Amino acid sequence: MLAVYQSLLRLYPSLYREQFAEEMISVFRDIDAETRKKGITAAAKFHLREISGLFCGAFSEHARRILGSHVPFPLSSRRFTMRPGFRFPKSTSFLMAVILAGIVLAIQKAEEISAALPRDIAPAGPMWAPHVGVLTTIVLTFSMVYVAGALGWIVLFALRRSGVHRLSDMPAAERD
């Protein structure tokens, strides 16, 4: 098992190995000897834990090296997982159905228009004027996204499902 452990340590970045590999092997050897005395089940559990620990650790170290040291690693901290109590409001499914229906209707309408056009007509020019640059396109895209977000919030507000309404519905004790 020590040979497997040593070969798995090669998954770590070289700098990390230089700093800790020898020590890790020494600690592994001590615990391995100890758990072997406790029986085969304890030894199997220990080996499984060590192997998964090495895989996660090596992945974490490489991610840190690539993404930067300031990025906390989500696997170990589990800080980025969704709150277990979180639920989408029921109106979300209704809104999604409306959006999907709108997309389907828009596609159908476009097909009808396309079929009604005479075949010998010259192809239409670009939707945007040629002088519109990348920056303008980005600004326009973000504006549209924000407008869509604001519209969604207005719908939620009208349905009394916004955060403001949820907070006001909450008992005072829970709010504190």
Distance CA 140, CA 142 (A): 5
Side chain identity, residue 161: R
Buried b (16+ CB within 10 A) or exposed e, 24-33: beeebeeebe
By C-beta, is 33 or 122 nearer to another protein?
A: 33
By C-beta, is 76 or 143 nearer to another protein?
A: 76
Q: Which of 1, 43, 60, 159 binds another protein (CB under 8 A)?
A: 60
Q: How far is the CB of 166 from another protein (least distance, A)?
A: 18
Instruction: Count Cβ atoms below 10 Å from residue 79 Cβ, excluding itself.
Output: 8
Instruction: Say what angle helices 91-116 and 134-158 make with each other, to 10 degrees.
Output: 130
Q: Does residue 62 belong to the site contacting another protein (CB under 8 A)?
A: no
Helix and strand element counts for the chain (H, E): 8, 0
Instruction: Quote the distance between the C-alpha of residue 101 and its chain's center.
Output: 27
Binding segment toward another protein, per CB under 8 A, in 16-24, 96-104, 124-132, 141-149: 16-24
Q: Which of 1, 20, 62, 63 binds another protein (CB under 8 A)?
A: 20
Q: Which of 36, 38, 65, 72 binds another protein (CB under 8 A)?
A: 72
Kindly list the residues in this chain that would bind another protein in the complex (CB under 8 A).
16, 19-20, 22-24, 26-28, 30-31, 49-50, 52-58, 60-61, 64, 69-70, 72, 76-79
